[in-house]
Structure 1
Amino acid sequence: MTTSSFPLVPAPFQRHIIHLLRERARRAPGRILVSGGGRELSAEALLETSGRLAATLAEAGLRKGDRVAIQLGNRLEFLEAFTACAQLGLFLVPVNTASKGHQLAYYLQNSASRALITESGQMPHLMSALECDAGTINGLARIWFVDAPPASSAQLKNAQLLEKMSAPLSEGDPGEASEPALVMYTSGTSGPSKGVMCSHAQLYWWGHYSIANIGIGEDDVLYTCLPLFHVNALNTFYQALVSGGRMVIGERFSVSRFYRHLIESDATVTYLLGAMVPMLLSRPADASERRHRVRVALAPGVPEKYFQEFEPRTGIRMIDGFGSTESNFVIGSALEDRKPGWMGKVIDGFEARVVDEQDNEVPHGTPGELVLRAREPFAFALGYFGMPDKTIEAWRNLWLHTGDRVVRDEAGYFKFLDRLKDSIRRRGENISSYEVEQVVGLMPGVEHVAVYAVPSELAEDEVMCAIVPRAGHGIAGLDVVRWCESRMPHFAVPRFVRFVDDLPKTENGKVQKYKLRQEGVTADTWDLAASGHAVKR
């Protein structure tokens, strides 16, 4: 009887990505770890190529603790940059590829990033950020392009092609697993987005708990088309690394090509978001939906009603779960224990409570806020970068407050109800209503604006805004969309626009958005989807 070398169960100091890669290379030399875009890398190949990139970063003067922003699509250069930064103790700052203008400039400024790694296709977004904040953009020590810089990059200071040194950085101690690996921006609720500091240990635990809950082994092939700048896809990388399996990165989600990509990748495990399942069910059924090898999909947020159609039609069984950038894979259930429509039970290694506004635990069946705690050290985020007050607020009473309203049944299953926070989740993206309001509020003719979520036909949310126009100004719904589309990510542009005489407010002047959400899409609301127009990307 032979004993498998996987999954990796490292000592605390070995939970750093560099130690994990070295151990994977020792146990399974030459085995492919990740592939995508016509390339594939083993653990030792990733260490070698990222080591040469680390030498480039070091030569540019970047030192431990510096932040390096990255705005790339799903390509292996993303993981090379992540690993290179880890070798030097740099914090990688993943930026959504849709970010532009004020939002992109804010991420760079707030994180105090010293360099940016990007690609030529992002040049229009970078130029829009330059127009908003030339000082921040030109203040970057380097703007590196992983492909040939476009001619327009001559307008940027310190822009050049990112080239790897001929020799890798000397191998050494990369640092502690408790140190930050990433600063990941998550949607603000009553203010700007916050940069979540994720340690190397937290990312390891993401992989560890996901492997156990999904049931992943070293023979599995994990296909994801979710973006690498989100924790979901980075978690998939750690699942492959720790389990001994292989990750295949898809360029992006496509309804028409999703099953073909599952077949081509030989995937056994895949990853879906709530809105993706009804989109896949909307296409005509064909044989490709059953020709793949996928047995299970991690599919958080899928409404119960879609399980009954999707699983028999595709042969893919889905499991739900809960995790956030600040936490980990905290709630879930294995296939044999799942309860469709419910997130699952708290996973061993964590604690979860449902509490009232004063953090008192409420009885089973009573809605309240989900608060969490980890037993393992550094399994949760370290806090918000440069925002100690927000960190204290979120971790008050030594529990992470998720801002999510849930209910727990007598058997210990948790069900998501809605968000206490003023945030919006649309097509798998978290949107700050505050940031959308900042853009719409600058539009000529807008006196006041409130942005909020309304239910989507595809699960999750749609973005709606209520606008009080200035006297004497005429504004149409399409005018709002055209104003927004060049100033924010396409997924954040409001679908619904309603013009009102006033916004409901409390006695001290705060907008009562819950009243607007209760009213929902009214008869006098303008709908982009029904207008025949579309958002320009």
Structure 2
Amino acid sequence: MYSAQSTWKAIGQRASRSPDDLLIVEADGVSYTYAAALGQISAWRSKIQSLPGPSPVCVAALMPNQAALHLLRLACTNAGRVFIAINPLLRGKPLVDALERSGVTDLIVSEDAEENLSAVRAGLGAGLRVHRLRDGRIDFSGLVDLGIDESAEPESSDVADIMIYTSGTSGPAKPVRLSPAAVSLYGRFLFGDGYDHWATGGGYYSPWHPAHVLGAVALEAAILRNLTLVTRRGWKFEYFWDDVQEHNCKLTMLISVAEKVWASRSAAPAPNCLDMVGISPAVRDYRAFGLAFDIDVLSIYGMTELGTVLTASLPSDNRVTGTPSSCYECRIDPLVTSSPASTGFDEIGELVVRPLGPRSTYAAGPDDQFGGWVDGWFHTGDRFSVRSGEFRFEGRVKDSIRHHGRNISAFDLEFEVRSLPGVKDCVTVGHSVSSCPSDAPDAEQEVRVFVLLADGASWSAADLLEELAKRLPMFMVPRYVDLVSDFPRTLSGKVSRAMLRGIPLGDGTYDRKAGPVEGLRVSRTSVGR
């Protein structure tokens, strides 16, 4: 079921049976039928397999062209070369770090990404080989063509892994290696145990770049469900409904954009061709969301290291993440704290997961190097409780804020702040005010929130806190507020909480305990990339 060549074989079988069926549609670029995709993968594989060098040869691709990236990944891994897709938004030092930390020997760069590379080329190692992609052809000048049969299926021993970086929101981004068999498993269980086939066909809408795990497994997710992968290289939310309707998309995953979809419900087409959406993080009311669009809605919980672990259809509240897929075992381990938290139903602990099929490994060393894998179980670092057999998300272990003897959930607080009109995004951290290290169980912290306002919004820090005091118990109302122009980002483009925790209080930080200041308007603190 999870054989290393399952995707290669599936494309070949479909190309023989229905060569003109669409495999990938790039809404703002190229499209590939099954036959065309098979030919392109085979041609690239023949060249890539001739890349010389010490084992392992690691091929990176820097390009926004998502259709080409999916095929290039199959060509590389089936040529025995480790593959990594580089986020095309990376510039400067983050780009250099991504290439060097990954051990890249060969970089394939498209014309529209060359500016990113040229700005840092002098800082890269002399041994890095750069190959340019032009009109579907990769320039491998100077390499010897070994005369490999392009139509031959690869041997299992030749198949290599892909590498993906975790989001790094709570610490350094970690390089994760996935075998093709693990990618197949991720795609199969992306939406849990159900929703695995659409007899009538249609599209799976996944605009996420393959540098993100959702983009990396999108092709498998589509093929296994008899759907065409529909993607877009320059995605913005305003394209969502037009792309979905034009390509008859039946399924999609909404990551961090569900609230935008909810806000756009008046503009949604009727009838809506979508059958189901997976959502992460939570929305306020799943059932209202499903009724508004006449679709089934799944709560999704997963990680780069694991894939989708928990799902729930139309959960009763936004904490419910559901039950494990059939390929995972889950347990709750007690947290090491001086005063254990409780939901009033079950004690809160850390979610620990054991995959029952192929699993990921960390690329930089032993499984336990980053403290995640222990004896085949992955410690997620997320706080959960269980009620009536359903797992409930209670926040990140590191994101819990210890304030006056209480544990405050950053998840709950951020949900309320984001619900305020004019708030585009926010991040809550604990600002240490005790002599203990900030990550010690008894460290005393004050609540600090970084708020990114939408264009035209006119909130002051004082007004924002006044509104939050109407919605939250007083101990949860932040002491410090920073109105910011952007957030510091990780290699994968996610907000870095670790970097935000390290930002000292400054002139742009509003302290509500310093006393109300009439008419105060806090200048936006610059904490961007």
TM-score normalised to structure 1 length: 0.69
CA separation of 1:320 and 1:255: change in aligned 2, threshold 3 A: same
Deviations 1:370-404 (A, max 9, x none): 1101222x1x21x1112226447311143111111
Aligned to 1:329: 308
1:317 and 2:289 equivalent? no
Distance 1:144 1:451 in 2: 49
2:77 to 64, 83, 86: 86
Question: Which residue of 1 is the match for residue 434 of structure 2?
Answer: none
Alignment counterpart, residue 352 of structure 2, candidates 347, 356, 371: 371
Alignment-mate amino acid for residue 266 of structure 2: A
- 1:75 pairs with 2:54: no
Q: How does 1:324-403 map to 2 (within 5 A)?
A: 324-334=303-313, 338-341=315-318, 342-357=320-335, 365-376=346-357, 378=358, 380-381=359-360, 383-388=361-366, 390-391=368-369, 393-403=371-381
CA contact (8 A) 2:46 2:148 kept: yes
Give the aligned length. 449
Aligned to 1:500: 505
Q: Give the direction of change, closer, same or farther, for the CA distance of 1:15–1:389 in structure 2 (3 Å limit).
A: closer
Q: 1:248-259 maps to which residues of 2 (within 5 A)?
A: 248-259=230-241
- 1:500 partner letter: L
Match of 1:420 in 2: 397
How far the C-alpha of 1:96 sits from its partner, in A, is 1.7
Query: Contact 1:119/1:146 (CA < 8 Å) preserved in 2?
Result: yes
Residue in 1 aligned with 2:25? 35
Conservation of the 8 A alpha-carbon contact between 1:366 and 1:407: yes
Letter in 2 for 1:365: D
* Residue 409 (structure 1) aligned with residue 409 (structure 2): no
Distance 1:33 1:83 in 2: 14
Match of 2:195 in 1: 214
Which residue is 1:20 aligned to?
10
Q: Deviations over 1:438-490 (max 9, x none)?
A: xxxxxxxxxxxx999768899xxxxxxxxxxxxxxxxxx99x97997999959
- Matched to 1:385, the amino acid is A
The Cα shift of 1:179 comes to 5.6
Contact 1:220/1:246, CA 8 A, preserved across alignment: yes
- Cα deviation for residue 13 of structure 1 reads 3.9
Distance in 2 between the 1:166 and 1:291 partners? 54
Describe the shift of the 1:498–1:51 C-alpha distance in structure 2 as closer, same or farther (beyond 3 A): closer
Could you tell me how far apart the structure 1 residues matched to 2:118 and 2:516 are? 37
Give the corresponding residue for 1:52: 43
**Amino acid corresponding to residue 250 of structure 1 in structure 2:** R
Identify unmatched segments of 5+ residues in structure 1: 1-9, 150-157, 434-449, 459-476, 502-515
CA distance in 2, matches of 1:144, 1:315: 46
Residue identity opposite 2:352 in structure 1: V
Deviation at 1:190, TM superposition (A): 7.2
Give the Å deviation of 1:114: 0.7
Please list, as runs of the form range in 1=range in 2, the aligned pairs for 1:103-252 lying within 5 A after superposition. Answer: 103-130=94-121, 134-136=123-125, 138-146=126-134, 169-176=149-156, 180-188=160-168, 192-210=172-190, 212-218=193-199, 219-252=201-234
1:167 deviation in Å?
8.8
- CA separation in 1, counterparts of 2:30 and 2:513? 47
Which residues of structure 2 form unaligned runs of 5+? 401-409, 419-424, 430-445, 455-481
Alpha-carbon spacing, 1:74–1:143, altered in 2? closer, same or farther (3 Å): closer
Could you tell me which amino acid in structure 2 is paired with residue 34 of structure 1? I
Q: Is the 8 A contact 2:258 2:283 kept in 1?
A: no
1:344 aligned counterpart, secondary structure:
strand
Separation in structure 1 between the aligned mates of residue 364 and residue 502 of structure 2, nearest angstrom: 35
Give yes or no for contact 1:298–1:318 (8 Å, CA) kept in 2. Answer: yes
Instruction: Give RMSD over aligned pairs.
Output: 4.8
Q: How many angstroms does 1:270 deviate by?
A: 1.7
Structure with more of its chain in helix, by fraction: 1
Aligned-residue offset at 1:64: 6.6
For 1:92-107, what aligned pairs fall within 5 Å after superposition? 92-107=83-98
- Aligned partners of 1:483 and 1:311: how far apart in 2? 31
Deviation per CA, 1:92-113: give whole Å up to 9, x if none.
1122222222222112111111
CA 1:214–1:96 in 2, change beyond 3 Å: closer, same or farther? Answer: same
Q: Show the counterpart of 2:422.
A: none
Alpha-carbon distance in 2 for matches of 1:111, 1:135? 13
Question: Once structures 1 and 2 are overlaid, which stretch shifts more, 308-317 or 95-104?
Answer: 308-317
Contact 1:216 1:243 (8 Å CA) reproduced: yes
- Tell me by how many angstroms 1:333 deviates: 3.3
Q: Which amino acid aligns with 1:70?
A: A
Q: 1:470 aligns to what?
A: none
Cα distance in 1 between the residues matched to 2:514 and 2:220:
45
2:281 aligned partner = 301
Shift of the alpha carbon at 1:201? 0.9
Tell whether the 8 Å contact from 2:169 to 2:490 is kept in structure 1 after alignment.
Answer: no
